[in-house]
Amino acid sequence: MKKMNWKKWVSILGTVVLGTGALAGCGAEEEKVSNEPGKGKLTIMSWYSPKDFAPVLDGFKEKYPDLEIDFQNVPNEGNQYQQKLNLLANSEELPDVFWIRGPITNFAKNGYMKDISEMESVQKLADTYKEDYSYDGKVYAYAPDSWVGGMFYNKDLYEEYGFQPPKDWAEFIEQSKVFLENGIKPLGMFGAALPDLIYWLHDTEGIAKDPELDDKINSGEMKFSEVYSDVMELWYKDCVETGIVSQDMVSITDEQRLDEFATGKAAATLTGPWAIKGLKEKNPELNIGVVPFVGTEGNTYAMGATNIGIAINAKAKNPENAELFLEYMGTGETLQKYQGVTGNFLGVEGVEYEVEPAMEPMKEYAESGKFLIPTSKWTYTDTIDAMMQRGTQEIVMGTKTVEDVLKEVDDKMAELLASEQ
């Protein structure tokens, strides 16, 4: 998994890449169409690499040896995958099967995805996993797993200062001030992910009380500022003004942020399971603990999202083979292999699996569905998240205020909602 901004996991889980040749487009050559399931051709597009996804795909190939599989590769870096997916949809050249991240409103509304609600594999999913890829009461993508992130903290460093993981926001701020006084960053962060702390606070302060808040932004029932002003003001007062979030973070990369945590320059960081392998490679002796992040009243929600979903093209040239693939993905043995690729939590009842020991405290949140990353809910997530990334950097650098940024987002949302009329 890539060490990465976990929102894009969302958005989050891995920026691995699948197959080769997708950039040529899915309709560039004549398809082998067969009415007999398990024969002919099947085109698949995803961002997992052939090497990483081989344990899953090899089993499907063995089961259907007469099926020609065209497994295509589009990287997820820089939103390249979503851009390619949009291009193929607009030109009606989508592959038979494709990975898609939520929200799926536009794709489902425009008829690009097949309704898979009645498929056996879909019926076995926990409700949260179905709901996150539903539109108008129908399920359009199969998403069997989720990532749930937390506050990764250096156990040894916390013990050195006599700290336990914070129980609430006030204790987090109190501990952070002690770390700052001793030249240690309380929380390692990087420029593109500066909004993350706001999003995590939004979960504990808002979503825990009203899970529909971000849906109300999408519908226009509430302005973005009405939902986010309190947590952004809290973030600014307690974190920006105190130096917990500092100006140097604006130019720091994700890799540098993880280096700081691995070497003890930062006491904690906000990330997900994909980061563990890289952190251990940087420092094999690093003693990692993972806990849910906290709000003013402790914690009842975790940051996370249902992982990327697998959809069938509504106009697939090989629909029977596409359904075979989704049913194969829903078997217990295949799900165990898939979980081995993603390192995520499964939302399918009765399938046993293992996660990194450090992530065990997060398992109850994943399996109960008490997780959310706001960007996975926004209809216009690419636009709004980009504005929040830029806006938080400007706030930290002192060139804009919280009010300035909130007004900009409100104005953009009003423009986008008006364009739907």
Confidence of residue 33 (pLDDT cuts 50, 70, 90): low
Tokens representing 398 are: 């002192």
Please give the backbone phi and psi of residue 303, each rounded to the nearest 5 degrees, phi first: -80, 130
pLDDT of residue 40: 92
Q: What is the mean pLDDT of residues 227-246?
A: 97
Tokens representing 295 are: 């709000």
Does 3.40.50.2000 match the CATH number of domain 150-301?
Answer: no
If you write DSSP's letter for every residue of 95-152 in order, what string do you get?
Answer: -SEEEEPSP-HHHHHTT-B---TT-HHHHTB-HHHHHTTEETTEE-SB--EEEE-EEE
Contact 185, 197 (CB under 8 A): no
Task: Indicate if the pLDDT at residue 8 is higher than 80.
Answer: no
Higher model confidence: residue 23 or residue 358? Answer: 358
Domain 7-147+305-367 in CATH: superfamily?
Periplasmic binding protein-like II (3.40.190.10)
- The structural domains of the chain, with segments of one domain joined by +, span 7-147+305-367, 150-301
pLDDT tens digits, residue range 256-291? 999 999 999 999 999 988 899 899 999 999 999 999
Q: What is the mean pLDDT of residues 136-163?
A: 96
Task: Indicate if the pLDDT at residue 413 is higher than 50.
Answer: yes
pLDDT of residue 35: 64
List the single range of 129-138, 227-236, 388-397 with lowest mean pLDDT. 129-138
Q: Which of 129, 168, 182, 121 is nearest to 331 (CA)?
A: 121
pTM exceeds 0.75, yes or no = yes
Confidence of residue 310 (pLDDT cuts 50, 70, 90): very high
Task: Indicate if the pLDDT at residue 412 is higher than 50.
Answer: yes
Task: Indicate if the pLDDT at residue 371 is higher than 90.
Answer: no
Residue 42 β-bridge partners: 69
CA 150/CA 176 separation, integer angstroms: 17
pLDDT tens digits, residue range 162-175? 999 999 999 999 99
pLDDT tens digits, residue range 325-355? 999 999 999 999 999 888 889 988 889 888 8
Q: What is the mean pLDDT of the chain?
A: 88
Pairing verdict, β 304-306 and 145-148: antiparallel
In this chain, the answer to whether the domains covering 7-147+305-367 and 150-301 adopt an identical fold is yes
Q: What is the mean pLDDT of residues 294-323?
A: 90
pLDDT of residue 301: 77
Q: Which of 278, 257, 285 is nearest to 186 (CA)?
A: 257
pLDDT of residue 349: 81
Pairs from 158-165 (Cβ < 8 Å, separation ≥ 24): 158/267, 158/289, 165/289, 165/291
Task: Indicate if the pLDDT at residue 397 is higher than 50.
Answer: yes
Q: Which of 61, 96, 98 is nearest to 76 (CA)?
A: 98
List the single range of 27-31, 118-122, 140-144 with lowest mean pLDDT. 27-31
SS3 365: helix
pLDDT of residue 381: 86
Task: Indicate if the pLDDT at residue 192 is higher than 80.
Answer: yes
List the single range of 5-14, 224-233, 277-286, 291-300 with lowest mean pLDDT. 5-14
Q: Does residue 37 have a cis peptide bond before it, meaning omega lies within 30 degrees of 0?
A: no
Higher model confidence: residue 31 or residue 324? Answer: 324
Distances (CA, A) of 190 to 218, 281, 406: 28, 20, 21
pLDDT of residue 95: 97
pLDDT of residue 24: 39
- Residue 166 is given by DSSP the state P
Distances (CA, A) of 55 to 49, 282, 342, 345, 410: 11, 27, 12, 18, 46
Q: What angle do CA 244, 291, 173 make, to 5 degrees?
A: 25
CA 242/CA 401 separation, integer angstroms: 16
pLDDT of residue 246: 97
Contact 305, 9 (CB under 8 A): yes
Task: Indicate if the pLDDT at residue 34 is higher than 60.
Answer: no
Q: Which of 125, 58, 148, 131 is nearest to 351 (CA)?
A: 125
Task: Indicate if the pLDDT at residue 27 is higher than 60.
Answer: no
